[in-house]
Amino acid sequence: MKIRLDKFISNQLNIPRSMARTQIKRGKVSVDGEVIRDFAFSFDPELSKIRYKNEAVSYKEHLYLYINKPKGVISATEDKQKQTVIDLLPEAFRRQGMAPVGRLDRDTTGLLLITDDGDFAHNVISPKKQIVKTYIAELDGDITEEIIESFKNGITLADGKKCLPAVLSRVCENTAEIKIYEGKYHQVKRMFGVVGLGVNELKRISIGGFSLPENMELGECRELTDEEIALIFE
């Protein structure tokens, strides 16, 4: 697929479009060895070699990241007061269009995907795709067999919305692992609310077959490998 040179330079170097145009007009960019000063020049980035100030510019159509979200940070692209997950991205990972894939509450920690690929995000979130999301929940009471059974049968939330069956298992008395296949607003907390349990701590540990590595610091961000992306959809 063809792309305009100014868009490509702006995206891949993470600089404003206006700055990309200036650099192109000044002759700093070459396409397949030839300096191109026309910023509207269009080319296929899969087939051409681009150099900026004589250094190769690598091409990635999309970026796929994951972060170990800390508490206090919101799952949004921008906010006037609060810190967002996008604010946590290292400079090298900042690009136009990067957005969290779904949401974790402000006080929820753990695995959050971030990408500029809308189709990918849709496929991960869509309840139709039934990608399992696994959480560890620390509760203010005990998990009984009846609660496990009612999660298995599909909880009906206080507003009457029916949830898909969820798999609840006890880790210890008041800590549970829960697997859900959709992502309704505050879903896990609301599901436990229905059975009279409050959630003190919530952490997402995996999406599909991909789990947050144990050695990852809170706030740390990494790029997903192709194998890890495949695991998400496993």
Catalog residues that contact ligand URA under the rule CB under 6 A.
104-105, 108, 186-189, 202
- Least distance in angstroms from the C-beta of 137 to ligand URA: 9
**Closer residue to ligand URA (CB): 12 or 187:** 187
Cβ proximity of 9 and 37 under 8 Å: no
Cα–Cα distance measured from residue 42 to residue 36, given in angstroms and rounded to the nearest whole number: 10
Cα–Cα distance measured from residue 9 to residue 17, given in angstroms and rounded to the nearest whole number: 8
- Least distance in angstroms from the C-beta of 140 to ligand URA: 14
Residue 93: CB partners within 8 Å, gap ≥ 6? 63, 65, 221, 223
**Closer residue to ligand URA (CB): 33 or 160:** 160
105 catalytic? Reply is yes
Per DSSP, the three-state class of 2 is coil
Cα–Cα distance measured from residue 168 to residue 94, given in angstroms and rounded to the nearest whole number: 37
**Closer residue to ligand URA (CB): 51 or 186:** 186
Marked catalytic residue, from 105, 119, 142, 226: 105
- Least distance in angstroms from the C-beta of 70 to ligand URA: 13
Residues carrying an active site annotation: 105
